[in-house]
A and B are shown apart, each in its own frame.
Chain A
């Protein structure tokens, strides 16, 4: 009897041990790997001067780890945001893609969707209600398309940044009387030119002026569906009157001497603007703090693109912008729920407010006001915030892979008159046809 009892006790103890060990195994530490680009991302321009542990994102990960015992988050800084998509693909094929990657939204993400886990089934409903930009992450921008991730961490807006002193010197007041038509805009630039200052400086070797401003005119006249249809080869860029008219005006700005002569190759356009040698430059709001630091808070203004056609069918009184970034979960991730939990945490109101302490931007959350962000009424940041619902989505994120590269490459040639708009459009058509195959 004793023997039976002893055996029973031993068996019971073994069972307890097995259960205990199994429990321990279940509580095994979980690790998330996250790729974040080194710039224009959660890592602000000023933060790069600090040690990595002082960055907002490093601290946010620590807070997430604290809130989720047993979870560790590893930050991998991607040096080249443009090449990150291909690196992500290569890692996905090798089975080593990170759990979460901060990439670019729209076509950039759709181009790698084979490596991205759709998150329709795990995204919290609260986030769907409180965040903006979901349409840029849905397959082919369709409302019922698969959801490939969260839109990036900010609504980035593009404007002409302008130097108020230089503009006033030309007898203009863009605050009270901004040019709202291209005719008014030309007249203003002519006045600035006569003061001996370069009206607009840009470096179109990557076509900033075109992508931050000029595409607005294309969008105004042709609309997003036509642009997408051109990309997919259903219609022709060469027959797209909006595109051709936009390119004509884009080239005319350079031809009339309103844009720096070396715009196709300039290496110092931003420095020139910051040094007060040029009146306007196309820029994103992410770098507004640099302009304010260089020129003074009272000396920096923002100007939305003028209307190319007051009766344009698709948009008026808007800027170019949107949620250009994307946070995606890779198919390699063993913990997709946890990965989404991390993205959701980063998108929360508390974390967004923390991030705002390091960068000035328009938040992706609907429940954060300009006052919450501490933007003074009448300030340049307040004006930026007033465009939070008035923007057209980045056209280069609508252009399909391949077409967009050709667009970047050939655009400067159109600006300086070395390629006609028609020839440019035909080159895009050829690329669209090639990609279709």
Chain B
């Protein structure tokens, strides 16, 4: 290669690099402003006794130590991990629904819209709906009593196990449609002939779903699982607020709800709220890494 051609290629490469950098720069700057800055700010404030006003003295890791030593923090972590149960259930149901809709079962157009309806209802309304459904004199207890399954009304939201169970049910109900839509997007990339061949080979519905569809859309499943996990840690506030207010006691309070309590009710301790936010970030990062590793090994296997 002549030096002139090499120089021209270098110049072209540099120009392309410059163009690429300039193209992504605005997005990077926006991300830095709306993502990185708040994280750095929260990290800095998490080692202070910031009260939201003018008090913001450095207190070292006192906020973290107090949280980690206290019982309440571990109750919140427990609650979040229990509520993670909604992820496998909604992914499983979402997959089943997606394959059914993909195979265009009878009435699929209607069901596709129906399953998505909860997604367009406000989370607060869903929370109140479930609060009413599962109240002592609510429809669930009435139905269970009528069919003789539970003669005495149960206080669903008053016991830790049942209250968390109701929240899991509520989250699954509201998210199955979203999962189904995401999986349908993945399934649409699989040639119809693959399902056809599986059917000819005698694969039933479950084998088609879990031995044909899942390995081929593993990255989509990974995306859905990852988003659902992150959502379970960061997006439950409206559900908890309207369904149980985190009670009784702290029995259904989650980490994100606690951030609200520490930030916006009278005993404001924004330093501690920032510390909870940082711990939450670490938990989500750790879970994401584990999950990506697991999905990578699955993907290798599918190949």
Contacts and interface: CB of A to CB of B under 8 A. Distances in A.
Interface of A: 82-83, 85-87, 89-90, 92-93, 107-108, 111-112, 114-115, 205-206, 260-262, 264-268, 400-406, 409-410, 412-413, 416, 418-419, 431, 434-435, 437
Main secondary structure of the interface of B (DSSP, over half): loop
B132 A410 contact: no
Contact of A412 (B55, B249, B263, B268): B249
Contact of A114 (B54, B250, B267): B54
Contacts of B55: 114
A283 to B, nearest CB: 20
Interface stretch (B3-11, B30-38, B109-117, B240-248): B240-248
A205 B52 contact: no
Given A108-B266, A413-B248, A266 B261 contact: no
Nearest to A84: B264
Contacts, number: 102
B155 interface: yes
Contacts of A401: 266-268
B135 interface: yes
A205 B244 contact: yes
Interface in B124-159: 128, 131-132, 135-137, 155, 157-158
Contact of A264 (B51, B53, B247): B247
8 contacts: A86-B263, A111-B266, A205-B244, A262-B155, A406-B267, A409-B249, A418-B249, A434-B66
Interface of B: 49, 51-55, 62, 66, 128, 131-132, 135-137, 155, 157-158, 163, 244-250, 261, 263-269
Contacts of B261: 405
Given A86-B52, A93-B52, A265 B265 contact: no
A82 B132 contact: no
Across chains A and B, which 3 residue pairs bring their CB atoms closest together, nearest first?
Answer: A402-B267, A262-B136, A265-B157
B266 A267 contact: no
Contacts of B53: 89, 92-93, 112, 114-115
A435 B244 CA distance: 26
Contacts of A404: 266-267
B141 to A, nearest CB: 10
Given A86-B268, A404-B266, A431-B267, 17 more contacts: A82-B265, A86-B52, A86-B263, A86-B264, A262-B155, A265-B135, A265-B157, A265-B158, A265-B247, A268-B132, A400-B267, A405-B267, A406-B267, A409-B247, A416-B158, A418-B248, A434-B66
